[in-house]
Amino acid sequence: MAEVASGRLGTRLGRILLLLPYAIKHPGVSIGELSERFGVTTRDLLEDFRLVYLCGLPGYGPGDLIDVTLEEDAVYVSMADYFGSPLRLTAAEALALYSGGAAVAALPGMEEADALRRALAKLGGALGASGTDGDDSGIEVKLAHGPAEHMEILQRALGEGKRVSLEYFSASRGALTSRVADPWGLVATLGRWYLIAFDHLSEDERMFRIDRIKSAALLDERANVPDDFDPERYKAAFVEREKQARLILEISPEASGWFRESYPALGARGLADGWTRVEMASGGEAWAATLVLRLGKDVRSVRPETVMTAARTLGAAMVSAHTS
Amino acid sequence: MPMGTRHGYSRDMRRIERLINLIAALLDTTRALTAEQIRSRIAGYDQESFEAFRRAFERDKEALRAMGIPLELSKSDPFVDQEDAYSIPKARYYLPQLDFDPDEVAALKIAAEILLGAGEHASAALLKLSIDSPSAPTPAPRIVWGANLAAEQPLLGRMYAALIERHPVTFRYHTAAGESSLRTVRPYRLLHRNGHWYVVGFDPDRSAIRAFRVSRIDAVIDVGTDDYEIPEDFDAGAHLGEAWAIGDEPHTATVRFDQTMRWWAEQNMPDCVVREAPDGALELELPVGNEDALISWAIGFGSAVEIIKPETARARLVEHIRPLLEAAP
């Protein structure tokens, strides 16, 4: 039933309800500007206006229909004062823009943070429908970003196209590492910020958790940044690589629910006794060992065997530390 | 301008035309219109039978609601029993004048562009909000970044709509263990934390504040019509901290970060640090409501972190790991 709002029809209707107030407020606006602003082709725009030209108020005589005039490239819309302002934001629109804004405004080193906070306060104040108080949007966004100075250095490096040196706690190695990296961009996902960079230590692209950077320094060397860097690729905090090591586990029925919620699986198969056999990309042996220890009695048949050995070694050390 | 004939005009286009006429008439009218008046006056409702009209009108009403267009029912005259007439209240349709400064619009643009996943919603919002600003040249690309806030989940929008309207929501909810039940909440806040959205609010069945993970809501069963108020000093963060902090009887745990990882605690949890041990290790005190979550968190640091207190958590960690050490290789 909601096909109008979500489908092609709704997109067009929504656009028209926005196009009209814009054209009314800016008489003589060019088709070219409208096309760029609304991200539609000239052809679609002309079709929109042709459609609007046939609409209006009951009576539908010359004095009732919306008047659309096209002179050369300039558009004039009149006789449609009731479409003089856009529709309020939907809850989904308000939430998306507000949360994106809140994420950016909380970022240390953001030049625009002040303007953004002012904008969000105005937006928050307008969101309430009934009896909302002040600028309270009701939305809070928390993204871990570690110490402010690291974020500032990384933003500078990205802005100037410079290389950085990092001291980084690598979960896959289970150790603090020193590395040189070419920063590509910043991506927030799973509730925290990551630096996407080419890592000279592993000679591959890596997602660095910013809260695990112990220290960061700007180097006076140019970073190589690919032209086609696309943050979308890192959305899930997990980038599939060729030759990525695999981890195979069997998970108990009790733990399979949260495990599925927490870790992306490459494949999963139910077993006769209710356990689930999961195949996933391994984040490295040390990482896999802590995953096995977290699962405790809810995991069995871990492959490769080296992961199980590493888990037992680490587990024995932890048990001994907590029994003495 | 070149006007096409109505030949070859698709059904979709005719439907959009009808919807525009309906919105125009209901926005412009000073008196609400009954279904019969809508049928006889508004262009596009030329269905042959009343039944066919009714079906078309029902679909159109649903389409308006789905787009967020407020449709209000009232009585066509004071002497009828039922609310039988429709209008679109101007005050609820029109976006209020927000008077953004140019630098504020530019900042909102950054916010809209950063979103991975819900970008279309954010761009639509931005287009509405910047209606008074002439198109500015796109700023030169600077830092490339993106934020996946999982803001595109449809149920999140429904929860937020309920929060804005201050209406209680009843929904089917499942826990991590897979148990499903019907729950009700008066939404006070939506919180994005640890990569998940939570609706935090008052649960009238439990008479307490509860946090629900939105991705675990299977379906919204009902949105009430009664209103509620959000306490002025409500602090959602107090009800939703780290996983180990959530629980019924929070108590204090002491954990020790050894020399190799103490920097992590100093950088990320400075408020919890209580003392430095002679060997250079750092001790932290944490409010813990869920010892299992504390253990899982501590294991993530390997042998760099030791739980010092309480004794029950130490014993539980040992109990949790030991079966793995004993199992046959």
- CATH number of the domain bearing residue A17: 1.10.10.10
Residue of B nearest to A13 (CA): B16
pLDDT band at B152, cuts 50/70/90?
A: confident
Query: Does residue B80 have a pLDDT over 70?
Result: yes
Of B24, B193, B327, Cβ closest to residue A142? B193
Name the minimum distance, in Å, from the CA of A200 to any CA of chain B: 20
Residues A259, A312 within the same domain: yes
List the domain boundaries for chain B.
11-93, 97-152, 154-241, 245-326
Q: List CB contacts (< 8 A) between B116 and chain A.
A: 187, 189, 231-232, 235
Can you give the pLDDT at residue A3? 37
Domain that holds residue A78: 3-83
Residues A42, A116 within the same domain: no
Q: List CB contacts (< 8 A) between A159 and chain B.
A: 142-143
Residues A155, A230 within the same domain: yes
Residues A68, A8 within the same domain: yes
Are the CB atoms for A2 and B115 separated by under 8 Å?
Answer: no
Can you give the pLDDT at residue B118? 76
Residues A77, A95 within the same domain: no
Name the minimum distance, in Å, from the CA of B79 to any CA of chain A: 26
Residues A167, A229 within the same domain: yes
Q: Is residue A134 part of a domain?
A: no
Average pLDDT value for residue range A268-283: 93
Name the minimum distance, in Å, from the CA of A240 to any CA of chain B: 18
The pLDDT tens digits of the residues spanning B91-136 come to: 999 998 888 998 899 899 989 988 998 788 898 999 999 998 776 6
Name the minimum distance, in Å, from the CA of A150 to any CA of chain B: 10
Helix (H) or strand (E) holding B200: strand B196-203
State how many domains chain A has: 4
Contact A322 B317 (CB under 8 A): yes
- Asked which of A9-13, A199-203, B221-225 is least confident by mean pLDDT, the reply is A9-13
Q: Is residue A239 part of a domain?
A: no
Query: Does residue A108 have a pLDDT over 50?
Result: yes
Query: Does residue A83 have a pLDDT over 70?
Result: yes
Q: Is residue A254 part of a domain?
A: yes
Residues A114, A172 within the same domain: no
Contact A316 B327 (CB under 8 A): no
Distance, in Å, from the CA atom of B85 to the CA atom of B139, rounded to the nearest integer, reads: 48
Residue of A nearest to B318 (CA): A319
Contact A257 B323 (CB under 8 A): no
Decide which of A170, A205, A234 is a domain's last residue: A234
Average pLDDT value for residue range B302-311: 93
Of A53, A86, A185, Cβ closest to residue B128? A86
Distance, in Å, from the CA atom of B210 to the CA atom of B222, rounded to the nearest integer, reads: 18
Residue of B nearest to A172 (CA): B300
Residues A115, A153 within the same domain: no
- Asked which of A68-72, A139-143, A253-257, B116-120 is least confident by mean pLDDT, the reply is B116-120
**Both tokens assigned to A248:** 């195979």
DSSP character at residue B173 = E
The pLDDT tens digits of the residues spanning B191-231 come to: 999 899 999 999 999 998 989 999 999 999 999 999 999 98
Can you give the pLDDT at residue A175? 87
With tokens 């586990």, the residue in question is A249
Residues A260, A316 within the same domain: yes
Structural class in CATH, domain B11-93 = mainly alpha
Residues A227, A273 within the same domain: no
Contact B129 A89 (CB under 8 A): yes
Contact A140 B237 (CB under 8 A): yes
Instruction: Report yes or no: A320 at the B interface, CB cutoff 8 Å.
Output: no
Nearest to B297 by CA among A294, A79, A140, A271: A294
Q: Residue A167 sits in a domain of what CATH number?
A: 2.30.30.520
Contact B164 A4 (CB under 8 A): no
What CATH number was assigned to the domain covering residues B245-326? 3.30.70
**Both tokens assigned to A266:** 């490459």
Of A37, A57, A103, Cβ closest to residue B24? A57
Beta strand residue intervals within chain A, DSSP E: 29-30, 67-71, 74-78, 139-141, 162-170, 175-189, 192-199, 204-209, 213-222, 246-251, 267-270, 276-281, 299-303
The pLDDT tens digits of the residues spanning B11-35 come to: 888 999 999 999 999 999 999 999 9
Decide which of A175, A206, A234 is a domain's last residue: A234
Q: List CB contacts (< 8 A) between A112 and chain B.
A: 103, 106-107, 110
- Asked which of A28-32, A106-110, B90-94, B247-251 is least confident by mean pLDDT, the reply is B247-251
pLDDT band at B327, cuts 50/70/90?
A: low
> Which residues, numbered 178 to 217 in chain A, qualify as contacts with chain B under a Cβ-Cβ cut-off of 8 Å?
184-192, 211-212, 214
Mean pLDDT of all residues belonging to chain A:
89
Residue of B nearest to A188 (CA): B147
Contact A100 B147 (CB under 8 A): yes
pLDDT band at A233, cuts 50/70/90?
A: confident
Distance, in Å, from the CA atom of A264 to the CA atom of A280, rounded to the nearest integer, reads: 7
What CATH number was assigned to the domain covering residues B154-241? 2.30.30
Mean pLDDT of all residues belonging to chain B:
88
The percentage of residues in chain B with a pLDDT greater than 90, rounded to a whole number, is 58
Are the CB atoms for A53 and A66 separated by under 8 Å?
Answer: yes
Q: Is residue A103 part of a domain?
A: yes
CB atoms within 10 A of CB A232: 11
Contact B115 A122 (CB under 8 A): no
Of B96, B114, B195, Cβ closest to residue A126? B96
Are the CB atoms for A137 and A123 separated by under 8 Å?
Answer: yes
Query: Does residue A132 have a pLDDT over 50?
Result: no
Distance, in Å, from the CA atom of A42 to the CA atom of A33, rounded to the nearest integer, reads: 10
Q: Is residue A69 part of a domain?
A: yes
Can you give the pLDDT at residue A79? 93
Q: List CB contacts (< 8 A) between B119 and chain A.
A: 96
Residues A121, A153 within the same domain: no
Q: Is residue A11 part of a domain?
A: yes
Instruction: Report yes or no: A31 at the B interface, CB cutoff 8 Å.
Output: no
